[in-house]
A and B are shown apart, each in its own frame.
Chain A
């Protein structure tokens, strides 16, 4: 079965740029979606189809996908961005989530 690998944690200084990676075999050929989840809350879709932002998501959130790695980039990180982030793909009639990355804003 297809696997997605994310770092357990990423730290970023307030106002700097955070990059969260999602690794998978030839993931560049798949559509990657990203979710933000804060404690006690449901997930929120922040990027779909690699680099598209749903309405209401700040432009500070962007995504890219190539080769074996997809990346979620959060520019000008704010305290409110501190959350768990999950990547997701559809593969062989299944939805696969990455293990999640805890983003800490210092």
Chain B
């Protein structure tokens, strides 16, 4: 059974940093690209970042480029999101998501078929 479990969320002051983790199980982690998607309270889904299965390719939304860094440790089956220079508008539930097909990602992205339950990040003084 595929499972994705996010952790690391919490309350942080503006300008602060936080690192999210997503522990994956039930599939060959290194074969799948992974993404982070967030949802501000009462708002829609916003894609944040994606990373290829090998970790060699990364992609970012303009809203987080230069502040957030996505990475993965395939030996630990874990996805990360390092978030720096946090702003109030970064307040959201952050989901990690698994790509639908293996050895894909990027231009051949075909949706995300499994999602974690999310971790809440609150940026406030």
Report A's interface with B, CB cutoff 8 A. Answer: 1, 31, 33, 35, 37, 42-45, 48-49, 54, 84, 86, 88, 90, 93-100
Which of B44, B61, B100, B110 interacts with A94 by CB under 8 Å?
Answer: B61
Cα(A84)–Cα(B45), bound, Å: 10
Check: B115 CB closer than 8 A to any chain A CB.
yes
Q: Is the CB of B45 within 8 A of A45?
A: no
Check: B111 CB closer than 8 A to any chain A CB.
yes
Cross-chain pairs A/B with CB under 8 angstroms, 6 sampled: A42-B115, A42-B118, A44-B115, A45-B112, A49-B110, A90-B107
Interface of A is mostly: strand
From known contacts A45-B111, A95-B50, infer whether A35 and B59 are also in contact, taking CB-CB under 8 Å: no
B77-125 at interface with A (beta carbon < 8 Å): 95, 97, 100, 106-107, 109-113, 115-118
CB-CB nearest 6 A-B residue pairs: A33-B111, A95-B47, A48-B111, A42-B115, A100-B44, A90-B109
Q: Is the CB of B95 within 8 A of A42?
A: yes
**Chain B residues whose C-beta falls within 8 Å of the C-beta of A96 in the assembled complex:** 47
Q: A33-B111, A88-B111 given. 7 additional CB < 8 A pairs? A: A45-B111, A45-B112, A48-B100, A88-B47, A95-B50, A96-B47, A97-B44
Which of A42, A54, A93 interacts with B116 by CB under 8 Å?
Answer: A42
From known contacts A33-B111, A93-B59, infer whether A42 and B47 are also in contact, taking CB-CB under 8 Å: no
Check: B21 CB closer than 8 A to any chain A CB.
no
Which of B44, B47, B113, B118 interacts with A45 by CB under 8 Å?
Answer: B113
